[in-house]
Amino acid sequence: MSVLPHASISEYESKRARQRCRYYFGRVVQLTNKTGRRVIQYRQITGSTRLVTLLGYPVTHSLSPLIHNAAFAAAGLDYAYVTAAVEPGNLKQAIEGLAALGVAGSNVTVPHKQEVHDLIDVTSEDARFIGAVNTLTFDRSGDRCRISGDNTDIEGFTRSLDLYRPNLINSTVAVLGAGGAARAVSYALLKDFQPESLTLVVRDIQKGLVAANVLDTIAGDCQMAVVTFAEASDSIRSSRLVINATPAGMAPNADVTPWETATDFHSGQLVYDLIYAPEKTRLLAEAENMGAETLNGLEMLIWQAAASFKLWTNEEMPVDTVRQILQEHLAKR
Ligand code: NAP
């Protein structure tokens, strides 16, 4: 069966079964009977399909297989994405196994994002700085496989703010949280948006100070601060951009918010929740009621995937198709 040009939908009349064979994108095939009822739909895997994996524990909740398999099919690329539940302690063997298998790449998620750094050949400056790798690329030459690590959350976050960029340069920013995402978005802001001030709002002041001390080395003229949630009202009120980089409010805990005092929000602010499920968190609903602009984490999710996709395939991810598929999927959940 030949593969049709990507993103095309065409029909082929099977001589034997008189079934209609419809190719959705390049690699998803749907057979329908004479009345148009779907008989079977399948994804083509060939003898030369390149493999991409997700290494994490657990991995069953991940949207990455949906994103990347849709993107590979839409781009007509002979790649497949699968998850691998790798228990803590087994990462080294898993990576060696992937290198031996000749995979094209991997995503890395909790709990391996830090440990993976010591198991690969080279880590990008960005990933090294924030201490977390989320994407591996395996380059084979002869019998040698070189494994590179990157963090595409940084580019994903930056791209997600493309529309807002002119109004965000030299702004005041508050970031809730001090974990991996908080470090990635703070790094991206310091590198690309020259904030006037950046305040980390944290539960644990020691963790906040550790993160802030690292970020301070690239802060330049930006005024860095760390405050606890109890002390953060002034920072929230005076920030042009407020980012939730905590899991508070994520499904199934949609009744929770990381910031209880909704009256601190106002027009002229952008309140950005890195959570994408639910689509509108309590934080975003309350900020919107107070007149703030709001943004959820879907664009960051899409753009970090696009950056990983580019590293593995050297091609642009069909972002609009992926966005549509993701939105439909999330709406059904
Ligand atoms: P993480 O490394 O575990 O860090 C979570 C941070 O949130 C920690 O500082 C933690 O404080 C704090 N925290 C947890 N629960 C809290 C609560 N109820 N109230 C206040 N602070 C709380 O997690 P992460 O990887 O940074 O991810 C954070 C969020 O960003 C998650 O919701 C994740 O899904 C989202 N995210 C989205 C994208 C995207 O593409 N849209 C990408 C990355 C992450 P302690 O240190 O005191 O525990």
Does the beta carbon of 257 lie inside 6 Å of ligand 1?
no
Residues 159 and 232 in one domain: yes
Ranges of residues in the chain with a pLDDT under 50 are 1-18
The Cα–Cα gap between 169 and 40 comes to: 51
pLDDT of residue 23: 59
Burial 163-179 (b: 16+ CB within 10 A, else e): ebeeebeebbbbbbbbe
The Cα–Cα gap between 136 and 222 comes to: 32
On whether residue 1 sits in a domain, the answer given is no
Residues 166 and 286 in one domain: yes
pLDDT of residue 20: 61
Does the beta carbon of 245 lie inside 6 Å of ligand 1?
yes
On whether residue 2 sits in a domain, the answer given is no
Question: Nearest C-alpha to atom 13 of ligand 1 is from which residue?
Answer: 246
* 100: CATH: 3.40.50.10860
User: Could you identify the atom of ligand 1 that is nearest to the CA of residue 300?
Assistant: 40
On whether residue 3 sits in a domain, the answer given is no
Question: Nearest C-alpha to atom 44 of ligand 1 is from which residue?
Answer: 181
Does the beta carbon of 295 lie inside 6 Å of ligand 1?
no
Q: Which pLDDT tens digit goes with each residue over 23-74? A: 566 677 777 777 777 777 777 888 999 999 999 999 999 999 999 999 999 9
Does the beta carbon of 204 lie inside 6 Å of ligand 1?
yes
pLDDT of residue 263: 98
Does the beta carbon of 304 lie inside 6 Å of ligand 1?
yes
- Using CA atoms, how far residue 101 sits from 53, 92, 143, 145, 180, in Å, is 11, 14, 12, 10, 30
pLDDT of residue 24: 62
Ligand 1 centroid–CA 202 distance in Å is 11
Ligand 1 centroid–CA 248 distance in Å is 7
Does the beta carbon of 26 lie inside 6 Å of ligand 1?
no
Residues 274 and 162 in one domain: yes
Ligand 1 centroid–CA 177 distance in Å is 6
* 271: CATH: 3.40.50.720
For residues 197 and 172, the answer to whether their CB atoms sit within 8 Å is: yes
| Mutation pick for ligand 1 pocket among 186, 274, 276 (CB with most ligand atoms within 8 Å) | 274
Give how many domains the chain has, as a whole number. 3
Ligand 1 centroid–CA 129 distance in Å is 18
E runs forming strands in the chain:
10-13, 20-24, 28-32, 38-43, 50-56, 79-85, 105-108, 122-123, 135-141, 144-150, 172-176, 197-202, 223-228, 241-244, 270-273, 293-295
The DSSP-derived string for 83-147 is: EEE--TT-HHHHHHHHHHHT-SEEEE-TTSTTGGGGGSSEE-HHHHHHT---EEEEEEETTEEEE
Residues 291 and 203 in one domain: yes
Give the domain range for residue 24. 10-43
> What DSSP state is assigned to residue 167?
H
Residues 217 and 254 in one domain: yes
pLDDT of residue 19: 54
Q: What angle do CA 187, 108, 93 make, to 5 degrees?
A: 135
Closest CA to 147 of 74, 223, 206, 95: 95
Cβ neighbours around 20 below 10 Å, total: 17
pLDDT of residue 142: 84
Ligand 1 centroid–CA 34 distance in Å is 51
List residues with catalytic annotation.
113
Does the beta carbon of 226 lie inside 6 Å of ligand 1?
no
